[in-house]
Amino acid sequence: MPKAQNPFSRAESKAGGVARFPTSRLGDAELVEAAARGDSEAVSVVWQRYSGLVRGVLRGALGVDHAIEDLVQDVFVGFLKGARNVTDGSALRGYLTGVAVRTAALELRRRKVRRWVTLTPTGVLPDEPAPPGDAEGREALRALYRVLDGPGTRRRLAFVLRHVQGLDMAAVVDALGISESTLRRELARARAQIARAGRREPALRRYLARFEEGLS
């Protein structure tokens, strides 16, 4: 499925025909200030700069999924509405990561409700897009999602943010709103669960050795 086009792009703004400093070269704090003033070009640059990160967090939490692009846009619509409340614009990356985490957690809870009311057997709606072309890697990710689906949203997201998205410990702690000690416990439990599952998940077994150093 092709990535969604930037829904926030607008024609470039000019004042009196004088070219202004390129918005794309602004720092995050300046972009947040401009977005809070209603500058649509600033919002477009935020999309260009961070939509890949947001998409990666959501995909890591939900897997290959029909809803990803809609959820990416939901995150940025939320940013657009709440830009005035972002107190530290320089921490925009962490802010958007946190919004993406909460969006993913909400979607996972919605799917549990769908399962409870038997709307679908898995909570996933039909018409999923064609998966990416790396069949071996895709199957390994599917196996990872199966393994991490049971422990609960927090452990799954902790593992995904730390070891799939590569965020540092402080960023994951901030995104999930937990202590570092709690994060370390969740990561250790996730790693132990994945190691156990590797014995019965052939697709995971091939990747465990490759990731072993990064998981330590």
* This model's pTM is above 0.95: no
Half-sphere exposure of 69 (CA within 13 A, CB side): 10
Q: Rounded CA gap, 81 and 36, in Å?
A: 8
Quick one: pLDDT band at residue 184, thresholds 50, 70, 90? very high
Q: How many Cβ atoms are within 10 Å of 106's Cβ, its own excluded?
A: 13
Average pLDDT, the chain: 75
Q: Which residues pair with 15 in a beta bridge?
A: 18
Instruction: Give the pLDDT of residue 114.
Output: 55
The tens digit of pLDDT for each residue in 43-60 reads 889 999 999 989 988 887
Instruction: Check whether 109 has a pLDDT greater than 50.
Output: yes
The tens digit of pLDDT for each residue in 12-21 reads 444 444 345 5
Instruction: Check whether 125 has a pLDDT greater than 60.
Output: no
DSSP string, the chain: -PPPP-TT--PPP-BTTBPPPPGGGS-HHHHHHHHHTT-HHHHHHHHHHHHHHHHHHHHHHH-S-TTHHHHHHHHHHHHHHHGGG-S-GGGHHHHHHHHHHHHHHHHHHHHHHHHHTTSSSSS--S-PPPPPS-HHHHHHHHHHHHHHTSS-HHHHHHHIIIIIS---HHHHHHHHT--HHHHHHHHHHHHHHHHHHTTT-HHHHHHHHHHHHHH-
- Tracing tokens 């829904």 back to the chain, one arrives at 7
Taken in order of first residue, the domains within the chain and their CATH numbers are 1-130 (1.10.1740.10), 133-216 (1.10.10)
Q: Which of 99-103, 105-109, 199-203, 206-210 has the highest mean pLDDT?
A: 99-103
Instruction: Check whether 152 has a pLDDT greater than 80.
Output: no
The tens digit of pLDDT for each residue in 85-96 reads 887 877 888 889
